[in-house]
Amino acid sequence: IIPSSSLLFSTQPIPEDEKSKPLKDVRKQLWNFYLSTGRGSNALFEAIDLNERGEIHPSELKAFMEEVLHEDPKELMPYAWNILEL
């Protein structure tokens, strides 16, 4: 029997915000790469389409924009944001 103090992995659940941090970092990197080079659109699409349906719904795009943009997307591009809210 191995004492619990010597276990290599914790049995405690990982909080949701810690689980999603690596994903947020990757999504930001993909966005910045796309902005700077104009390349990587397929990878960017896949990073937004997390449920792998092959389509992006307005709610997914809004969440992505809020996550990666350095400014408030409602102020940065109000017309586009209003379209997403229809």
Tell me the pLDDT tens digit for each residue of 7-29: 444 455 545 555 578 888 999 99
Higher pLDDT, 26 or 5: 26
Kindly state the DSSP code that residue 7 receives in the 8-state scheme.
Answer: -
C-alpha triplet 67, 35, 68: angle, nearest 5°: 5
Contact 76, 69 (CB under 8 A): yes
Tell me the pLDDT tens digit for each residue of 33-69: 998 999 999 999 999 998 899 999 999 999 999 999 8
Residue whose token pair is 């944001």: 81
Return the C-alpha torsion angle 74, 59, 15, 20, nearest 10.
-80
Note the pLDDT of residue 6. 47
